[in-house]
Structure 1
Amino acid sequence: MLTGWRLALSKCFLIPQRYILGIMGFFAIVNAYTMRVSLSLAITEMVVPLKATDYYDPDACIPEKSNVSISAIKDQSTLYNWDEKTQGLILSSFYWGYILTHLPGGVLAEKFGGKYSLGLGILSTAIFTLITPWVIIGTGGNWKALVALRFIEGLGEGTTYPALTALLAKWVPLKERATIGSLVYAGSQFGTILSNSISGALIRQTEDWASVFYFFGGLGVVWFILWVLLCYSDPNSHPFISDKEKEYLNKELASVSSDKLPIPWKAILTSVPVWALVITQVGHDWGFFTMVTDLPKYMKDVLKFNVSQNGVWSSVPYIVMWLTSLGSGWLCDFLVRKNIMSLTFSRKFFTSIASMGPAIFILIASYVGCDRMLAVAMFTIAMGLMGCYYCGMKINALDLSPNFAGTLMAIINGLGATSGIVTPYLAGALTEDHTLIQWRLVFWITFGVFAVTNMVYLIFGTGKEQSWNNPEFNSKTRNVTGDKSEMGNGNSIRDYEEEGKTKI
């Protein structure tokens, strides 16, 4: 029972604590992405601008007079001669560290709670973002120093998704999972929107790329302070949650154990649905990271937008993606709740929209010529459809195992993030001459990755809770061969087929 100041404090909140956690989780990812993505646009103004004579593209768009390649930076000594491959390495180096802390972050979140695993990860990223200009300028533009710094930033941010998934498993009932999950994970689009739009305006106004890192690093510190004050790892440890909400969540989340369970590593690592999610995550991240890290470069190199226009038009696709992710999350919950779609079918349906829609429209964008607004429209439709991922495969780890959702997300998101290592470098290596034909090849490769990974999910994906999520599963010796309790744990393709993979 709540007494005294706790009761009074609980009444100060007009919305339930699980929604406050969802909102703060949303802003956690917003901050994570603003700090991650800010370099993607800033780097277009950190390098010495190319002259028209430096390369030849017969398909090149003719820039408007206001868009002629003139640096927006006042202090020209802070511009550096980094070629496309070097820029690709810089942009990908974040993900070298990012994938390493996913699994430790998930395990720590499940063992000690997600509050500080998430909070300290964002705080460390914020601090290293703040010192980025000092490192670059202090080393005279040594790109290796920037690579090392971005690697360390990635280490801090790698805990974000595993910790948040562990928190959602403790706080969000099944009937609200797609809605709140989509809200939280949609922070990636909103963060990209803010990063691109604000970065372009800041650089234009201050004539200094360093302002971007100071601004977004500062916001990360502010978020951490609010997070520590407002959010907790689970309902039972929350000091001012109402008794009514606590009782409701304890009832709805009865399948989520409050005990610190041993992780069933063998069952997880041999689970077909888990590996289907890993492969699908690779496909999603390949397309998403291609756009996040390289769309600003495409806007500048091919479509010839200046920095402020680049910031605005690079943001528009993510505005639509954010709105789509919220709307599709609500629609998915509605369709499942009304038994119009089964859980498994809904996950596959929305994932397919989010895979093949972007694959097709990103490719079309490279064939519209120099019609800048039509190209932006195609990118916008592509990224808008990608918003359906979040109520599809992104929250699927919660379906498979609420008890080990943090660990699952660590494996799935961590391995998926290897795309973030490959795509920036690959795009840089394939577009050394900045030509439209070279960029078109990048988009064709993206199309192929989307198509193959989505097919894997359609065949092997499922929304069924796996038997190894049950605490009793972990206490069994399982010495008896063919124990029926193991059925559906995804240990082999044969097990999965017996479970009924065609049932949707």
Structure 2
Amino acid sequence: MSGRKETGHKRKLYVPARYVFLAIRVLDMFLSSFTEGVMPLAITSMVRTTTTTTSDTTTAANVSLTSSDMCPGSPEVTNNSSSSDSKGGDFDWSELTQSYVSNGPTYGSVLTMMLAARLVLLWSPKLMMAAGGILTVALTALTPALAHWDVRALIAARVLLGIPSGINMPAMFALDSTWFPPNERQQMVGVIFGSLNVASIASSSVTGYLIERFGWEDVFYIFAVMKFVGLCLWIFIIHDSPGKHPRISEEEKNYITSTVKKETEVKLQVPWLQIFLSAPVWAYLSVSISNVWIMFLLSVELPTYLTKMLYYSTTDAGYLVSACNAMAFIVQVSSGFLSQWLRGKGYISQLTSYRIFNAVVTLGSAAAIIGITLSGCDTTAIVVLLLFIKGFQSVIIAGSFLNHMDLAINFVPTLSGINGTVSSIVGIISPTIAAAIINNNQTLTAWKEVFYISAIVSAVPYVIFLIFGSVDEQPWNKVPNKDETLDPEEPQVKSKQSSVSSEDVNKT
């Protein structure tokens, strides 16, 4: 009797291992967002502002700007004096140089994404991400010293900081596809990526405050320490698969392995030609391109737009970025659950769900961007539209964000690597084009040009997905003359496991 009671008591306190995995994944994304997102906001205080004024014009660098092409409220235009917020920074960098510094990690991720997609099949995804985390901690802590030494050394370090990003995408998708059953995957991934926005809310507010209070250097030291603590938890708690977890219950392990059906990609040759000739794959990639273009534009250039065009202080700009990310978090999590609920009830098919939510991501964002160009200097309208854009972009979780798992579950790391590489290239192009247009030319006309280009890039991919998008397993994903098997780590699991339901696991 007592033994049974004790066993029942233990089962009551049991937390499913996949939920623990979820919690650590959320923490890792949270801390990664802190370390990756600090530079775009910090750089507004790192760079020296060189502005002289007259009663009729504002001259920045070598370009004379009439006040009619700038928003009213600028201390330089209205008062002929400098604002207390526009104190000089430590560095005299052009807009293009700032773009290279802010966006350096994207260059590094381009170089490593596909290599990481192949290595993840041969090595432990957990250890790959841990190695990337160690590099992140070291380079983040060294950022202030490198910045004071030589901007070229800083840019090189920022490029190296992209290596963890290149590793993380294929590795984390490999882990997620192994740990999350298909009927829970969209909600779980929605929570994970929603944590990025929560982190951005916190980091934007905290970063702005720390910069104003202590100086920009301290931000990098603090975030490096936080990332190190999270890295320790990752190393000791995360495991590559349910089969390798020492404390998972048999019920939960059987449930996960019976629903996550795939071949091991190590034993399969990657059908490169079929992948690159696949219209559904390119439809999936096109929506990612739309999403990444706007995401990088906002993350890299938004602080500059708020401080240089709308004249917000660094602290206030941080709060506005936080508000945008708060909107993104709410929409991201709720849209993921809404999509899964609508499909679960049979109200819409999976493909219809993708098309509906992709329309919000692409067409909705394009409309809001055009709205900004029509708003002139109405800061209230612009801030509201920025909130809408961040919300629209976050709906990608309910759209085709996980479409590659539908098309080819056996090649998830490879498709993730391709998507990540393409996204990284777009992530370089988007802010670089913006920086080139506004370089020494912070005017309404220049920013309108940036917004028009972004609206076109945002909208066109929807047409591509509408025509070629699919949720059907592609022929090249199937293994010829071979029955589909379960997780290769659990080949013995068959009919007995299939009877284990989600409800049974949650009761344990």
TM-score, shorter chain, exceeding 0.5: yes
Q: How far apart are the structure 1 equivalents of 2:218 and 2:447?
A: 30
1:354-396 C-alpha deviation (Å, 9 max, x unpaired): 1111111122123223332221111001111111101212111
Aligned to 1:461: 469
Shift of the alpha carbon at 1:167? 0.7
Structure 1 partner of 2:230: 223
Q: Counterparts in 2 of 1:425-504, with a 5 A limit?
A: 425-432=432-439, 433-472=441-480
Partner residue of 2:73?
63
> What's the TM-score once normalised by structure 2's chain length?
0.85
1:270 aligns with 2:258: no
Return closer, same or farther for 1:437/1:36 CA change in 2, 3 Å cut-off.
same
What is the CA-CA distance between 1:90 and the residue it aligns to? 1.9
User: What is the distance in 1 between the residues matched to 2:383 and 2:305?
Assistant: 11
Q: Tell me if structure 2 keeps the 8 A contact 1:10–1:240.
A: no
TM-score (norm 1): 0.86
Q: Contact 1:109/1:117 (CA < 8 Å) preserved in 2?
A: yes
Match of 1:104 in 2: 115
SS at match of 2:69: coil
| Distance across 2 between alignment mates of 1:443 and 1:330 | 31
How far apart, in 2, do the equivalents of 1:256 and 1:63 lie?
A: 59
- Residue correspondence of structure 1 range 156-305 to structure 2 within 5 A: 156-206=164-214, 208-253=215-260, 255-257=261-263, 260-266=266-272, 267-305=274-312
For residues 201 and 363 of structure 1, what CA distance do their matches in structure 2 show? 32
2:157 to 149, 152, 157: 149
Residues 173 and 416, structure 2, Cα contact 8 Å, conserved in 1: yes
Change in 2 beyond 3 A, CA 1:9/1:152: farther
Segment drifting more, 445-454 vs 190-199: 190-199
Structure 1 residue aligned with 2:315: 308
**What is the SS of the residue equivalent to 2:267?**
coil
Q: Could you list the per-position Cα deviations for residues 306-333 of structure 1 after superposition, in whole angstroms to 9, with x for gaps in the alignment? A: 0100100122111111111100110111
Deviation at 1:96, TM superposition (A): 0.9
State whether residues 354 and 385 of structure 1, in contact with CA within 8 Å, keep that contact through their aligned partners in structure 2: yes
CA shift for structure 1 position 98: 1.0
What is aligned with 2:499?
Answer: none
1:186 Cα offset (Å): 2.4
Paired amino acid for 2:100? L
Distance in structure 2 (CA, Å) of the matches to 1:14 and 1:475: 35
Give 1:12 shift: 9.4
Q: Quote the residue 2:46 is aligned against.
A: 46
Q: Tell me if the contact between 1:282 and 1:418 (Cα under 8 Å) persists in the aligned partners.
A: no
Shift of 1:11: 5.9
Letter in 1 for 2:250: D
Greater alpha carbon shift after TM alignment, 186-195 vs 357-366: 186-195
Distance 1:200 1:68, change over 3 A: farther
Residue 17 of structure 2 is matched in structure 1 by: 17
Q: Determine the C-alpha separation between the residues in 1 that align with 2:435 and 2:187.
A: 37
8 Å CA contact 2:134, 2:228 repeated in 1: yes
On the 8 A contact 2:106/2:427 being kept in 1, the answer is: yes
Pairing 1:384-395 to 2, within 5 Å after superposition: 384-395=391-402
Distance 1:166 1:130 in 2: 29
Q: 1:363 is matched with which residue?
A: 370
d(CA) in 2 for partners of 1:177, 1:16: 15
How many residue pairs align between the two structures?
Answer: 462
Over 3 Å counting, the alpha-carbon distance change for 1:94 and 1:9 in structure 2 is farther
Q: Name the residue aligned to 2:135.
A: 124
Paired residues of 1:278 and 1:413 also in contact (CA < 8 A):
no
The answer as to whether partners of 1:97 and 1:154 remain within 8 angstroms in 2 is yes
Q: Cα distance, 1:459 vs. partner?
A: 1.3
RMSD, matched Cα: 2.5
* 1:37 positional shift: 1.8
Unaligned runs of 5+ in 2: 1-6, 54-58, 485-508
Kindly indicate whether the alpha-carbon contact (under 8 Å) linking 1:98 and 1:417 is maintained by their aligned counterparts in 2: yes
Counterparts in 2 of 1:97 and 1:231: CA distance versus 1, 3 Å: same
Deviations for 1:129-181, whole angstroms, at most 9, x for unmatched residues?
111011112x1xx2211110100000122111111111111011111121012
Contact 1:72-1:204 within 8 A present in 2 as well: no
Bigger radius of gyration among the two: 2
Does the CA contact (< 8 Å) of 1:93 and 1:150 recur in 2?
yes
Letter of the 2:289 partner, please give it.
V
Report how far residue 13 of structure 1 moved.
6.5
- Offset from partner CA, 1:249-300 (integer Å, 9 cap, x none): 11111x2235732242333233221122222211211111000100000000
CA distance in 1: counterparts of 2:92 and 2:45, whole angstroms? 11
Equivalent position amino acid for 1:88 in 2: S
How far the C-alpha of 1:447 sits from its partner, in A, is: 0.4
Identity rate, percent? 27
